[in-house]
Structure 1
Amino acid sequence: MFLNRENELEILQKDFSIPNSSFNFVFGRRKIGKTTFINNYIKGKNSFYISFLEMINSITFHTIHKNFENFYNKKIEKIDNFESFLKVLSKVKFDEKLILVLDDFQNLLKVEKDALNIFYKTWSKELSSSNIQVVILSSIKSSDKDDEYIYKKSSNIIKLENLPYSSIKELIPDVQAGDIIHIFSAYGTNPEYLKLYDCKKDFLLNVKENFLSYEGLFFNEGIDFLKKDLNEISTYSSILYAVAVGNNKIGDIASFLNLKSTYLTRYLQKLIDIMILKKYVPINEDIKKSKFGRYEIEDNFIKFWFCYIYPNYSALQKNDTYGVISHIRNDFTKRIERNVYKNYILNLVKKDPYKYLGFIPTNIGSWWNNKDVQIDIIAYDSKNIIFVDTKWKDTQKLELSYSQLKSKSLEFKTTLNKKYVIFSKTTPTK
């Protein structure tokens, strides 16, 4: 099943329609659906697809050589590395525009560290005059300045985000409405994960069988996810554990792990590069200058795994699941679901602000300050500003919630006309 990638497909299709050559990047962390996406895009088109597996170059390019000869239906000169492949490609004339797909490009970079520079140099000198559209897919979006320079020279940079909340109902048609937020908070929206959810069993039993059982398919998934792209797994996994349980500031992460903040910087950046972590700053702040940056795990599945499986791994290996499932039952709502619900509402409002706010804001986001005052959502235009609070559990009267929100809003200095909105489970959202 292929869902909710129509806008991204349209971007590539428009690019394909232009009367000259181009190259594009598609980024997305592992298992977000990059290969499914590109296979849908190239269906029925003239395309040559390369997936870079983790193997030595001689085998990789021997296979590419053989496949390209079959595709081109001609004998071609020897190909033994990425540069020689691009040289051969640049000499071929295509009457019909060719889509060249370079999937899992991060694996090529492990054996040819200069592969991206080689591509851009060959593109600039030769390939750009071919009748070709290149699509490079990778699970790593480098923060290196030279790499970022090449990214900006491309026609398009597409980042595949998580599928939306609504896709759960499409992927699991028989799911009970009350279970969707639980599933979203633990499984995310990965179709491969969601297909394992059994609607005939309750949420915690599904968690027990899929996550907590030593033979469950998710038991090692969090660590296996990191091993594909990272070394020093112990440091990276410890950081993700610290963030998963609620330490979002670099100082808090360092304190939790008994490390220096300066030591963590490169590890945090690498987790951002592989699109597992994302750094957020308050609305109106510059991400490069703000002192109030916070880190969040982008995918709910990974957050759940590092919050509950990682710290209990030894007990679960001994099949001691009772204490863990009891902890999840008591902790899950306040630690995970509350923030998931806030982000869900934020994305919902961003997608259709007029429906929920009554105007189109020029800016929308979350806000907090150094006094630990936090406002879930702020949205404004040149006249109005709306302060929004999200309530996953209605534990207090609405009047008190409004009063608290108004009090917090005083910390955000503005001369605009103020309005206040409370979202809760009883708020009609779609």
Structure 2
Amino acid sequence: MVFIGRTNELAFLESCYHDENAQLVFLYGRRRVGKTETLSHFTQGKSHVFFAAQSATKDEQLAAFSRQMFEAGAPAGKYIAQYSDWNSALSDIANLPATEEGHRLVVLDEFPYLVKSDPSLPSVLQNLWDHTLRHENVMIVLCGSAMSFIEKELLAEKSPLYGRATGILNMLPMPYWDAVKFLPNYSVEDKILAYATLGGIPHYLAQFNPNESLETNIKQHILRRGSALYSETEFLMHQEFRETAIYNSIIQAIALGATQLSDIANRTMMAPQKASTYIANLLEIGVLEREFPVGTKPVERSKGMRGLYQISDNFFRFWYAFVFSNRSDLEFGDIDGIYRYAIEPQMHAFASKPFEHICAMWLRRENMAERLPFRAGDIGRWWSKRDEIDVIATSKTDERLIVGECKFQNKQLAVSVLRALQNKGTQLHGTQQYYYLFSLNGFTAALERIAQTGVSIRLVTARELFD
């Protein structure tokens, strides 16, 4: 399969590789986000050792690492069959044959597995780095999926490796413009629906056949019992948590519209304090996020005022909305019925929130390219007790605003939508407001005529989001 996207991540790794100083790089992110594939692509054409750790004992890990080091030309392989400990194994990195540029590259994938089998490993690496390796032309990449472990145990102040990293990269899901490259033959509408279903996780996107319709792919690769994505969320939840039933109920409650702690607690019949503990764990692994209105002050964020819980992963949101709630019928094999009656009528409504996210990402890209009327400082949603604005962008230096409405529906946007948006905008403080309307199916002629009369109104079609 052709490697897609990750331009910024690869550029970061290349800059580390060509740096004249020794490099100790942490690359981490949630499972399935494409860390291993990105590192494999990065190491192509370079002399390297790529060790993918398993859940195994210390001796088993050392034996496997020894074989790879010796195959790469580590001189100790001439005298011993296996390194006796991690100190001797890692110190031998400096003795690997160097490339023409003098580099020695070693990737330790799923590094947390190594630490689990030998908790002293971070101290061993810290000692070697301080006294030997940081003076050599080496690049060591420590990669892992256990996000909370890496942040709390390896990068935190109490860790032996604290302050040693020369680079730290948290790999995020792909932006929508890269994600849809997995499905190049899809229409713009189906690309948005597919992104709303799968999000920016390469492993999920790769399951879909680009030559099959969206409906066929959903039926065959998500709804069919035995397919990879049918049990994916359960697999990940069991890897991360013990009390999966409780976490399932929380995620489903949010997927069905409960976004405040009190609502989630009521839906799951838990005390708010207990529910908040489980929610905190879901926030740590990147399944949930807490969203605040643009312009919320730090003191309000710290007190949790006005914040809403959302499912940050599109596929989790889809699975809990349509698969988890229809599990009995799907287990029985009623794939066509569930798609026809439960999913198809709701797809556009379901995709409306991911469409808002796409529009916000588009604004960020336009901002970076300096194609907005001003340099934006904050981009996101805004809401009050009585109104909601799909996307706004605020100026860093003055009170100019972009106020946006996003409509993912099968009819053209009319002048009434613009007037409603302008009315909502009166609640916001700003010396000048620009109105951006995003539409799946275009705009009425009357609205287009109004937009042509001034620079404060911009109409953005779904196709333009992919230009």
TM-score using structure 2 length: 0.81
Aligned partner of 2:405 in structure 1 is: 389
- Corresponding position of 1:269: 280
Alignment partners' CA distance in 1, 2:199 and 2:358: 12
Q: Which residue of 2 aligns with 1:163?
A: 174
Please tell me whether Structure 1 or Structure 2 has the larger radius of gyration of its CA atoms.
2
User: Does the CA contact (< 8 Å) of 1:82 and 1:115 recur in 2?
Assistant: yes
* Range that drifts further, 110-119 or 201-210: 110-119
The residue number in structure 2 matching 1:144 is 152
Aligned mates of 1:20, 1:355 — CA distance in 2: 34
Q: Which residue of 1 aligns with 2:261?
A: 250
2:380 alignment partner AA: G
- Aligned residue pairs, count: 426
**After the TM superposition, which residues 306-317 of structure 1 pair with which residues of structure 2 at under 5 Å, given as runs?**
306-317=320-331
Q: Conserved in 1, the CA contact under 8 Å of 2:75 and 2:95?
A: no
Structure 1 residue 32 displacement after superposition: 1.5
Distance 1:31 1:80 in 2: 33
Once the two structures are TM-superposed, the CA of residue 238 in structure 1 deviates from its matched residue by: 2.6
For residue 253 of structure 1, report the CA deviation from its aligned partner: 2.1
Letter in 1 for 2:255: A
1:350 is displaced (CA, Å) by 0.2
Q: Deviation at 1:222?
A: 1.4
Give the match's secondary structure for 1:148. Answer: coil
Contact 1:361-1:379 at 8 Å conserved across structures: yes
Using structure 1 for the length normalisation, give the TM-score: 0.88
**Counterparts of 2:223 and 2:251, CA distance in 1:** 19
Q: What aligned pairs does 1:240-389 form with structure 2 within 5 A after superposition?
A: 240-285=251-296, 286=298, 287-325=301-339, 326-334=341-349, 336-353=350-367, 357-369=372-384, 371=385, 373-381=387-395, 382-383=397-398, 384-389=400-405
1:58 to 2:21 alignment:
no
Structure 1 residue 138: Cα displacement: 1.5
Other-structure match for 1:106:
112
1:358-393, CA deviations, whole angstroms, 9 ceiling, x for partnerless residues? 332133222234x26332222122232111121112
- In structure 2, the partner of 1:229 is 240
CA contact (8 A) 1:90 1:126 kept: no
1:239: how far off? 2.5
Write the distance in 2 (CA, Å) between the matches of 1:394 and 1:318: 33
Instruction: Give the CA deviation at 1:342.
Output: 0.3
Secondary structure in 1 aligned to 2:421? helix
Retained in 2: the 8 A contact 1:251–1:261?
yes
Residues 220-259 of structure 1: per-residue CA shift (max 9 Å, x gap): 1111122333332222333222222232333322222111
Structure 1 residues not aligned, in runs of 5+: none
1:73 aligns with 75
Distance apart, 1:37 and its partner CA: 0.5
Match of 2:447 in 1: none
Q: Secondary structure at the match of 2:419?
A: helix
Moved more, 242-251 or 395-404: 395-404
CA separation of 1:80 and 1:347: change in aligned 2, threshold 3 A: farther
Going from structure 1 to structure 2, the CA distance change for 1:415 and 1:168 (only over 3 Å counts) comes to closer
In the alignment, structure 2 segments of 5+ residues that lack a partner are 443-459
The CA deviation at 1:288 is: 4.1
When the two chains are superposed, the root-mean-square deviation of aligned CA atoms in Å is 2.9
Whether the 8 Å contact between 1:139 and 1:275 is mirrored in structure 2 is: no
1:238 to 231, 249, 267: 249
- Paired position in structure 1 for 2:135: 129
CA positional deviation for 1:35: 0.9
Q: What is the distance in 1 between the residues matched to 2:35 and 2:132?
A: 28
Query: SS of the counterpart of 2:318?
Result: helix
